Amino acid sequence: MASPFSATTAPGSSRAYRIKNSAGDRVFMAIIYTALSLILIAVLYPLIYILSSSISSPDAVSSGKVWLWPVDISFEGYTTLFSTPLILTGYANSLFYTAAGTLISVTLTIMIAYPLSRRSLYGRSVIMVFVTFTMLFGGGLIPTYLVVKQLGMVDTRWALLIPNAIWVWQVIIARSFFQSSIPDELVEASELDGCSDLRFIWSVVLPLSKPIIAVLVLMYAVGQWNAYFDALIYLKSDHLFPLQLILRSIIILNNGAGAMDVAEMVEKQHLSDLLKYSLIVVATLPVLCIYPFVQKHFVQGMLVGSVKG
């Protein structure tokens, strides 16, 4: 009977064994690699196409000549993009909303998730039921708008920072992480040493919670960066618009030709098509820059927060 192991000699060792894959295993792995390759192509092609279109000439983009690689390389889209004051203002606004909104959201999420993870909190199960209930039923757009209006936040930056500051799913993930990673014995030991609750959170909980903090930062930052609906509802002043709202206006509301002649209309449409891709590239850069630094913590935090607890 033939052995499924083949003996090979390796440097520094007398003999090593390698498992031979059966024909069925090789076919299965071939299918897996084929499927992964197709998925990789499906993910990479739109990215390459958008990047190539953003540095191609407006005529090549509008006529559909760009298929994979740039055609008649031109940086007119980026030149026009960074020479438009409204776009630069929107970019600065989005950076501010993302940074401030993420800081507020992460702080509030930890403030509600950590107490709910401790058994000493009386009525935590009831509170968690009410928190989870908001995932199923909401007040609706009109009541929310009336609340924001009564608080005087319409057409202010606070309208994009406060109403959706806490996401219930993030609270659940953070609560599960704290339950599995911060044992009650550690809390009791700190209490015996006379450590206050705030000191314990600052000196013990936060240093041990870097993975879940990275998860929360990435989720909230991406959500805040891509958000435009709240700005569309609550903001009226152009100088407060985030970049995504300006991007939406360029993509959807670029058909107003006015009294322009045909040649000017065609030129405007060509430039508008080019600006779409340039804006998409510029709008995705911050997320692409942040993700590599938090990827390790993101994966670890997601596994701990979802499997345990």
H or E stretch at 19: strand 16-19
Least confident segment among 103-117, 180-194, 223-237: 180-194
CA distances for 24 relative to 3, 5, 17, 28, 32, angstroms: 17, 16, 21, 6, 12
User: pTM here?
Assistant: 0.73
Q: What is the pLDDT of residue 308?
A: 47
Q: Mutual orientation of helices 210-226 and 85-117 as an angle, nearest 10°?
A: 140
Residue 13 region by backbone torsions, left for phi larger than 0, else alpha for psi between -120 and 50, else beta: beta
Q: Give the residue-averaged pLDDT of 219-247.
A: 86
Closest by Cα among 156, 142, 141 to 231: 156
Which one-letter amino acid corresponds to residue 216? L
Instruction: Select the more confidently predicted residue: 189 or 262.
Output: 189
Instruction: Select the more confidently predicted residue: 144 or 85.
Output: 144
Q: Note the residue count of the chain.
A: 309
The pLDDT tens digits for 124-168 are 889 888 888 888 887 788 888 899 999 989 989 999 999 888 888
Least confident segment among 95-99, 223-227, 244-248: 244-248
The pLDDT tens digits for 11-39 are 555 555 566 777 777 888 899 999 999 99
Q: What's the CA gap between 88 and 78, in Å, rounded?
A: 12
- The model's confidence at residue 268, banded by pLDDT at 50, 70 and 90, is low
Q: What is the pLDDT of residue 302?
A: 57
Q: What is the pLDDT of residue 258?
A: 45
The pLDDT tens digits for 166-215 are 888 889 888 988 888 888 788 888 878 778 888 888 888 888 888 888 88
Domain residue limits, the chain: 76-307
Q: Give the residue-averaged pLDDT of 120-125.
A: 84
8 A C-beta contact, residue 103 and residue 86: no
User: Given 3.40.640.10, 3.30.1490.20, 1.10.3720.10, 3.40.50.300, which CATH number is that of 76-307?
Assistant: 1.10.3720.10
Q: Give the residue-averaged pLDDT of 71-77.
A: 79
